Each structure stands twice: as C-alpha cells, then as structure tokens.
C-alpha cells in the first residue's frame, strides 16, 4: 500500500526504503514492477533494498554503503548491478582498494559436497499427505530430504506453506 501511494505521486524524485519487506514473492515482484514503471528521463528513483534477488531484478546501478553504526557511513560510487552485488558480498571495494568487512559472504553450494560428505548424509522419507481446511486443500507428494539440506518453501501467501509445516 505504501509503495503504491508513493508511485501515484507527481514527483521528480522517488525514494523507497525496503519496499519488499514483509511481502511474499509475487508481491515483491509487483512492487518492483511498479517502481520500474516510474522510470522516465526526468525522474530519479532511489531504493534501499536488502533482498539481493529483488535488488538484482529492480536495479540499474548499485551503491554499497558501509561504516560504523552511529559513527560514520560511506557510499560507494555506483557499480553495475552484478559488480555492486559482488562488492557487497566480497566486502571489498576495488575502486577504493578498501576492505569494509573482514570475511566475504559466501553462498555454500551443496553440489560441491565431496563423496565422503554425501555418504554421511542421513536421508529421511516423508509420505504423501493431504489436508483440507474449508475450501482450501493442500496436496503434498511423497519425497525425501537429508540432514545436510536446507529446504525453503517458496510461494505466495495463502498457498499452504505453514499448513504443510504443521502436518
């Protein structure tokens, strides 16, 4: 609602602070589309965003901010989206030769697991399940997971994610 209220204003500069917070995936994409629809040659749009997937979808350029809370903050020059995301993840600004975070943020990819690690994994099977609540029906196919995996349930609000967890 707040995002929509900003989008209908007549302005030269639009500022959005974490427009995707508390939104499900579809709502995040709708908010991003609404913000991108504001683009005109004489308009400026500034977005503060923490969700890297929304940032990647929404942005033309990325500035990274770093500093010490309550003391100082620094804004980098604009980078391309890919380069800006990598600067943030690496914690290193190559144009300044400056490290603002000791350790890089690294996404662990399960495909890189060694054969020995795979052998140690315990597999758990779950049966097919169904749950009906009024007119809502959730159907879950049988499957499996291991103790070395993080499974994310992704979907719009009201599609059964919490109901599935409670089964």
Question: How far is the first Cα of the chain from the last one, in angstroms, to the nearest whole number?
Answer: 33
pLDDT of residue 133: 83
| Nearest partner of 110 among 153, 151, 145, 148, judged by Cα | 148
pLDDT of the residue at 109? 60
Query: What is the pLDDT averaged over residues 119-140?
Result: 82
Q: Given a cut of 80, is residue 110 above it in pLDDT?
A: no
The answer to whether 40 touches 58, Cβ cutoff 8 Å, is: no
Residue % of the chain over a pLDDT of 70: 90
pLDDT score at 43: 93
0.95 exceeded by pTM: no
pLDDT, tens digit, 9 for 90 and up, residues 18-71:
998 888 888 888 999 999 999 999 999 999 998 888 899 999 999 999 999 999
Question: Does residue 10 have a pLDDT over 60?
Answer: yes
**Plot region of 145 (φ>0 → left; ψ -120 to 50 → alpha; else → beta):** beta
Report the candidate in 155, 150, 158 with the shortest Cα–Cα distance to residue 29.
155
Per-chain mean pLDDT for the chain: 86
- As to burial, measured by CB atoms within 10 angstroms (0-12 exposed, 13-18 middle, 19+ buried), residue 86 is middle
Convert the pLDDT of each residue in 78-98 to its tens digit. 999 999 999 999 999 999 999
Under the banding of pLDDT at 50, 70 and 90, the label for residue 125 is: confident
Give the C-alpha separation, 109 to 148, whole Å: 11
Q: What pLDDT score was predicted for residue 17?
A: 92
Q: What is the mean pLDDT of residues 135-157?
A: 79
**E-assigned strand segments in the chain:** 13-17, 44-48, 61-62, 65-68, 72-75, 79-80, 92-93, 98-99, 123-126, 129-133, 136-140, 143-146
Please say if the pLDDT value at position 112 is more than 60: no
């Amino acid at each position: 609602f707040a995002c929509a209220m900003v989008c209908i204003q007549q302005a030269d500069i639009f500022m959005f602070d974490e427009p995707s917070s508390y939104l499900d995936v579809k709502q995040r994409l709708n908010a991003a589309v609404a913000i991108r629809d504001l683009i005109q040659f004489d308009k400026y749009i500034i977005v503060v965003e923490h969700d890297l997937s929304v940032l990647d979808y929404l942005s033309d350029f990325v500035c990274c901010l770093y500093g010490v809370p309550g003391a100082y903050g620094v804004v980098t020059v604009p980078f391309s989206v890919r380069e800006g995301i990598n600067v943030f993840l690496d914690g290193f600004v190559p144009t300044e030769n400056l490290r603002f975070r000791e350790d890089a943020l690294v996404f662990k990819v399960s495909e890189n697991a060694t054969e020995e690690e795979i052998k140690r994994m315990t597999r758990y099977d779950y049966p097919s399940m169904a749950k009906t609540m009024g007119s809502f029906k959730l159907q879950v196919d049988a499957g499996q997971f291991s103790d070395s995996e993080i499974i994310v349930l992704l979907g719009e609000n009201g599609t059964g994610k919490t109901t599935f967890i409670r089964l």
